[in-house]
């Protein structure tokens, strides 16, 4: 049978009495009256149907049952105290395993470049990345946080942006455009070899989204065709760098290749900005310090990114 939970306060009080073998000292330590302690002990003895203390006007000692109970309670209450202290330490200093479910894009672009810095700041943390291009249920999957594009999140989730607004970029090598021409509108992509990305979890091939320049609220999607489909965006970028065709990808990913002149951007005025990447958590209430540390770290990085052209 489970223990009567009403006994817990009385058992805790008993350990103070047994430790000091003095009602006066135990009462002073606990901030209660001697009479309250005495009555509490009497009630406990009645409930357990045993005598726990021998008492005289000058002396106090534990009975055999009282000694056995005190020895067990000391260890149990110390274990509880240790756990409570650990919880307190967790709130003040991030520690333990931090499991983050993230898309591959976010992992490679936003997290992996800063893993060393983050773990150096929080040496008691272990970071585990679970890469999943679907929209994960972080609670069901046993994760502490998730990282996804803001536009893919449900309205009810607790989320904070960890990047500025982002853009898609349509790119290919200069040699490809020299050979096949530069599309002036999205419709002209029908004449080109467009390399596409298939999401693993849903099997969906991503559409390419555009909006007419200077016309708000007229977004549309195209289903360009081409000779190459992959579920790995790195593979798609490598194919584009080989001159196979045109890709649409996050500007932040292809930015280094644009700066180096390896890729050339087209249709820029047709690619509008959209909400960037968000870190989402089950709840803001009682947020563990390890999750708060991750959130604060990436909010800091977002502020730095805001000073860089996106």
**pTM attached to this predicted model:** 0.64
In DSSP terms, which residues pair with 136 in a beta bridge? none
Q: Which pLDDT belongs to residue 87?
A: 58
pLDDT per residue as tens digits for the range 173-183: 999 999 999 99
Q: Which pLDDT belongs to residue 139?
A: 61
Q: Which pLDDT belongs to residue 309?
A: 44
Q: What is the mean pLDDT of residues 155-179?
A: 90
Q: What is the mean pLDDT of residues 72-98?
A: 71
Pick the CATH number of 96-165+276-305 from 3.40.640.10, 3.40.190.10, 3.40.710.10, 3.10.450.50: 3.40.190.10
Q: What is the mean pLDDT of residues 81-102?
A: 73
The position carrying tokens 């999140």 is 153
Q: How much of the chain exceeds pLDDT 70, in percent?
A: 89
CATH topology of domain 168-270: D-Maltodextrin-Binding Protein; domain 2 (3.40.190)
Q: Domains of the chain: which residue ranges?
A: 7-92, 96-165+276-305, 168-270
Task: Flag the least confident range among 44-58, 105-119, 233-247.
Answer: 44-58
Residue that wins the pLDDT comparison between 19 and 169: 169
- Span 7-92 CATH architecture: Orthogonal Bundle (1.10)
pLDDT per residue as tens digits for the range 258-269: 999 999 999 999
* 186 three-class SS: helix
Do the domains 96-165+276-305 and 168-270 sit in the same CATH topology, yes or no? yes
Whether the Cβ atoms of residue 205 and residue 225 lie closer than 8 Å to each other? no
Q: How much of the chain exceeds pLDDT 90, in percent?
A: 40
Q: What is the mean pLDDT of residues 156-169?
A: 87
Q: What is the mean pLDDT of residues 47-51?
A: 89
Q: What is the mean pLDDT of the chain?
A: 86
Asked whether the predicted pLDDT for residue 186 surpasses 90, the reply is yes
Q: How many whole angstroms separate alpha carbon 107 and alpha carbon 111?
A: 5
Q: Residue 182: how many CB atoms within 10 A of its CB? A: 14
DSSP letter (8 states) at residue 214: T
Highest mean pLDDT among 26-35, 48-57, 244-253, 295-304: 244-253
pLDDT per residue as tens digits for the range 113-122: 999 999 999 9
Q: How many whole angstroms separate alpha carbon 241 and alpha carbon 244?
A: 7
Asked whether the predicted pLDDT for residue 310 surpasses 50, the reply is no
Q: What is the mean pLDDT of residues 185-190?
A: 95
What is the pLDDT confidence band of residue 172, given thresholds at 50, 70 and 90?
very high
pLDDT per residue as tens digits for the range 117-153: 999 999 999 999 998 876 656 665 788 998 988 877 7
């Amino acid at each position: 049978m489970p223990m009567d939970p009403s006994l817990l306060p009385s058992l805790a009080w008993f350990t103070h009495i047994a430790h000091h073998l003095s009602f006066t000292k135990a009462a002073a330590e606990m901030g209660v009256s001697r009479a309250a302690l005495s009555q509490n002990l009497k009630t406990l003895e009645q409930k357990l149907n045993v005598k726990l203390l021998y008492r005289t006007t000058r002396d106090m000692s534990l009975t055999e049952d009282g000694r056995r109970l005190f020895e067990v309670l000391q260890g149990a209450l110390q274990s509880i105290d240790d756990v409570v202290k650990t919880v307190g330490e967790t709130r003040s200093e991030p520690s333990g395993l931090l499991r983050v479910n993230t898309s591959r894009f976010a992992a490679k672009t936003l997290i992996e470049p800063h893993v060393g810095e983050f773990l150096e700041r929080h040496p008691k943390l272990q970071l585990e990345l679970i890469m999943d291009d679907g929209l994960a249920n972080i609670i069901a999957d046993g994760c502490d946080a998730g990282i996804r594009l803001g536009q893919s999140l449900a309205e009810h989730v607790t989320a904070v942006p960890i990047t500025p607004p982002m853009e898609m970029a349509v790119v290919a090598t200069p040699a490809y455009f020299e050979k096949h021409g530069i599309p002036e509108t999205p419709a002209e992509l029908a004449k080109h070899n467009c390399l596409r990305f298939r999401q693993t979890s849903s099997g969906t091939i991503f559409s390419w989204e555009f909006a007419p320049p200077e016309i708000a609220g007229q977004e549309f999607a195209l289903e360009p065709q081409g000779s190459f489909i992959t579920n790995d965006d790195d593979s798609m970028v490598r194919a584009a760098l080989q001159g196979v065709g045109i890709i649409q990808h996050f500007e932040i990913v292809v930015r280094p290749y644009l700066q180096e002149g390896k890729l050339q951007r087209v249709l820029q005025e047709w690619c509008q900005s959209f909400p960037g990447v968000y870190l989402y958590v089950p709840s803001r209430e009682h947020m563990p310090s390890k999750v708060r540390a991750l959130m604060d770290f990436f909010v800091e990085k977002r502020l730095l990114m805001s000073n860089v052209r996106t």
